[in-house]
Each structure stands twice: as C-alpha cells, then as structure tokens.
Amino acid sequence: MIDSLTHYLKVISDPSRLQMMFILSNHECCQNDLTECFNMSQPAISQHLKKLKEIDLIIEEKRGYFTYISANKSHEHYPIISYILNTYDGLLDEVDFDCGNKACKC
C-alpha cells in the first residue's frame, strides 16, 4: 500500500494537479472550464487530467456534448488526499488562478 500511496502523492505533487484536485473535490467541471481557470492551453490541461485519470483519482461522465469531471471520492487514497487538500489554506492563491469559485459553465 505504501508504494501505491507514494505514487499517488507524486502525481498530485504537481501544483497544477493539486489545485485541480482541490477544485474537482468541490465542483464538477468541464475541461474547458479548467482551461479557462488555469489560463493554460487545452493540451496542457488534458495532460494533467490524463495523469489524474490514469491513477483513478478523477471520474469523467459524458453528458451530451460535454464531459464532466469530478474527484473520485470512493478511491482508496481519497481520504488522505482530501486531508491534504483541506489542511492547506490558500491552495488556490499561489498560482495564476483567475476563476475563484465561479460555477462551471458547461
């Protein structure tokens, strides 16, 4: 289990992915919303989401034209990740992040 947890922590140690997990733990969003919020290109967001999806930390649900993304709260390591996310105040303040808590538009 320790190797598995170490791998998950390495993936979310990237500041952008950590912030994405924080957002997706509290809101369901579309990839376009994340692209806008992080002021990153769509391919860059896709790569971050791919890494989170590979380790099953996010869930994607297709609805019509849009795919909604949220945190996989049933993941075995989610309680640990949730603790990390909830103990660090100001997680969204340290990177060029301009969408605040606005609702996702999709």
Which pLDDT belongs to residue 94?
A: 53
The answer as to whether 13 is a domain residue is yes
Which pLDDT belongs to residue 104?
A: 61
Q: pLDDT tens digits for 52-97?
A: 999 999 999 999 998 999 999 999 989 988 898 888 766 656 544 4
Instruction: Look at residue 30 and tell me whether its pLDDT is greater than 60.
Output: yes
Instruction: Report the pLDDT averaged over residues 23-43.
Output: 88
CATH at residue 81: 1.10.10.10
Which pLDDT belongs to residue 96?
A: 44
The answer as to whether 44 is a domain residue is yes
Neighbours of 52 (CB within 10 A): 21
The answer as to whether 103 is a domain residue is no
Q: Tokens 């992915």 identify what position? A: 17
The answer as to whether 92 is a domain residue is no
DSSP element (H, E) containing 59: strand 58-63
How many domains, in total, are found in the chain? 1
Which pLDDT belongs to residue 106?
A: 53
The answer as to whether 99 is a domain residue is no
Residue 50: domain span: 2-87
Contact 18, 12 (CB under 8 A): yes
